[in-house]
Structure 1
Amino acid sequence: MSVYHAGSRALQEQAGLREAADHVGRAVGDGIKPVAAAFLELQPLLVIGAADPATGRIWASPLSGEPGFVRATGPRQISVTGGPAPGDPLAGALARPDVPVATIALDPRTRRRMRLNGRSGPTRGGFSVTAERVFANCPKYIQRRAEYWWDPHRRPGPSRHGHELSGRQAAFVAGADTFFLATAGPSGVEASHRGGNPGFVQVMSPTELSWPDYPGNAMFLSLGNLALDPRAGLLFLDWADGTILQLTGRARTESAADGTRTVRFSVEHAVETSGAVPLRWAEPEFSPANPAPTE
């Protein structure tokens, strides 16, 4: 089975990067190597993307725990202890068997990230994922956060729902240096990372966001999905107090004559939860790959 589908291939061809994509694609496998298993067991944070079975909307959700809460339990399986909070948009999805999911483990301390896509099913203490695609990405645009502190007393507050961003939420998004993006396509779900200097995500209105698509690994997995299916989920995280903002809606990619690309996202539903992640991370050291902000 090819790593790429028609949506990704079209963008690779348009950018003249098909050969580079084929080279990167050879590193994608369906097994969890020992180095990947060791990396997972060190992580206190995992982001998962999936569709809400009740609405079909795509969401990205954070999962957290003491290191070891995510671990490889076989050459093609990971086990996750715990799961989303009861009010999380993906709580229902992860309680079902055989659900297409995507995960990304990102370690700000080392600027490493690993993606594992497959199918999940509930377990006694959480859920498991049987891997279909496993691969690492380069450290581009990951902000380094040298350490984190676990807050065992932090508890999620009540979730606030809406169909557009409040002024405070818009400021949160506009000041973000990182978010996570979930998309869906013929090959399943993808969960990816987007990073840049604060301001790289622009709030055009209470229901419209945009961000530049910076040059990456030439795979075009997320944008390839959006070319065929506009559903998308975004996750913004306050790395200090654990507040999360989850957005679901539709996205499209616009290409300019000079070859640059901009993604435009329309908000359909927003969920904000304070204290959702019991981690406090150090202040960021911005990635040297981040383009300078434009006026």
Structure 2
Amino acid sequence: MSRVFRDTMPDQHRAFFESQSVLFLGLLDKKGRVWASPVFGEPGFVQSPDARTLSIGAVPVLSDELAFDIAAGGKVGVLGLELHSRRRNRLNGEVVRTGANGFDIAVGQSFGNCPQYIQARVFDRRSGIADAFEVGRLSSLTGEAQALVERADTFFIASRAPELTEDPRNGLDVSHRGGRPGFLGVTGDSILSFPDFKGNRFFNTLGNIEADGRVGLFVPDFETGGAVFATGRAIIDWSPERSGTFAGARRIVDVTLEEILLARNIFPAGGRLLETWPGLEITGTWDEALRKEE
């Protein structure tokens, strides 16, 4: 492996994961489809007993509703994101133990990420998760779900390799994306599009999309505690004419959604925005892009 991708976690990553109250996961369902979902707990619910193991003492949100495959041998992607500091670290690996109250992951790839496009927020974990969350399956991305997506400035995307093997490069991955409210666009009732800006040049997500295309999206509303979960197939539009409508974008990703869930009260409310990522005001929105085409 390169120096960027390690097969063990450095001590600072282990301490970082252990300090978090939420992780974002890339998971499969029983049909092999990809989903992105958070897992919550009080700080300390994540432990790293050694440099090759991450133990999560909770089950991911919507585990029952979406029948996530977190049995031993299942692949998983993990993102730790500290919103107020814009610090994030990732790992991809394999479940080696599972139980009623959590699971252990053996590290396949461990790596850090830069803070680009992260909106700094105060995440008030003390507010807790609402007692009575609601979740419904939708036939299309319209109404309340569409409005949530179109005002979002942050979402998470999980992706997978075509074949899942012992090679750590052939697994699951989950990543963060950020932009101006309006950088997520909805076409018709089933296509969600977003610009892809210059990043770390790892191309984990884009490489998986080119090779396989199956992705999962988690779009949270930090103010209301609601979220949209979706799974589908993505393609990359590399044409400069289309990406040129967003300053700094290198390509456009279009996701045809196959299943959509709208959840209420599932994400702790009170995510107060401190600062947007510098420079986002010039990047554009889908409304602005459509006006340029008129």
TM-score, normalised with respect to structure 1: 0.86
Structure 1's 153 and 130: CA in aligned 2 closer, same or farther, altered over 3 A?
Answer: closer
Q: CA deviation at 1:32?
A: 1.4
The superposition leaves residues 137-195 of structure 1 with CA deviations (integer Å, 9 ceiling, x where unpaired) of: 00000000134242246124232002311211111101000000000015211100000
Q: What CA RMSD, in Å, does the superposition of the two structures yield over aligned residues? A: 1.9
Structure 1 residue 169 corresponds to structure 2 residue 154: no
Structure 1 match to 2:267: 277
Structure 1 residue 32 corresponds to structure 2 residue 15: no
Structure 1's 148 and 261: CA in aligned 2 closer, same or farther, altered over 3 A?
Answer: same
Structure 1's 285 and 122: CA in aligned 2 closer, same or farther, altered over 3 A?
Answer: same
What is the one-letter code of the residue matched to 1:253? Answer: I
- CA distance in 1: counterparts of 2:209 and 2:260, whole angstroms: 20
- CA distance in 1: counterparts of 2:52 and 2:234, whole angstroms: 32
- CA distance in 2: counterparts of 1:153 and 1:169, whole angstroms: 20
**Contact 2:129–2:265, Cα closer than 8 Å, also in 1:** no
Q: Could you say what secondary structure the match of 2:110 adopts?
A: strand
**Contact 1:179–1:235, Cα closer than 8 Å, also in 2:** yes
Q: CA deviation at 1:89?
A: 4.8
Structure 1 match to 2:291: none
1:123-142 map, 5 Å: 123=99, 125-142=101-118
Alignment coverage as a number of residue pairs = 270
Q: Could you say what secondary structure the match of 1:36 adopts?
A: helix
- CA distance in 2: counterparts of 1:241 and 1:270, whole angstroms: 19
Larger CA deviation: 188-197 vs 64-73: 64-73
Q: Could you say what secondary structure the match of 1:168 adopts?
A: helix
Structure 1's 216 and 45: CA in aligned 2 closer, same or farther, altered over 3 A?
Answer: same
Q: CA deviation at 1:293?
A: 1.8
Q: CA deviation at 1:124?
A: 5.1
Structure 2 match to 1:71: 47
The superposition leaves residues 6-39 of structure 1 with CA deviations (integer Å, 9 ceiling, x where unpaired) of: xxxxxxxxxxxxxxxxxxx522101111111111
Q: CA deviation at 1:279?
A: 4.9
The equivalent position to 1:110 in structure 2, one of 85, 89, 96, is 85
Q: Which consecutive aligned stretches of 4+ in structure 1 deviate over 3 angstroms post-superposition?
A: 85-92
**Contact 2:20–2:46, Cα closer than 8 Å, also in 1:** yes
**Contact 1:157–1:275, Cα closer than 8 Å, also in 2:** yes
Q: Could you say what secondary structure the match of 1:145 adopts?
A: strand
**Contact 2:37–2:61, Cα closer than 8 Å, also in 1:** no
- CA distance in 1: counterparts of 2:91 and 2:85, whole angstroms: 18
What is the one-letter code of the residue matched to 1:97? Answer: A
Q: CA deviation at 1:93?
A: 1.1
Structure 1 residue 217 corresponds to structure 2 residue 200: yes
| Unpaired segments ≥5 residues, structure 1 | 3-24
| Unpaired segments ≥5 residues, structure 2 | 164-169, 244-249, 289-294
**Contact 2:27–2:68, Cα closer than 8 Å, also in 1:** no
1:11-30 map, 5 Å: 25-30=2-7
**Aligned sequence identity (%):** 35
Structure 1 residue 265 corresponds to structure 2 residue 252: no
**Contact 1:59–1:89, Cα closer than 8 Å, also in 2:** no
Structure 1 residue 83 corresponds to structure 2 residue 74: no
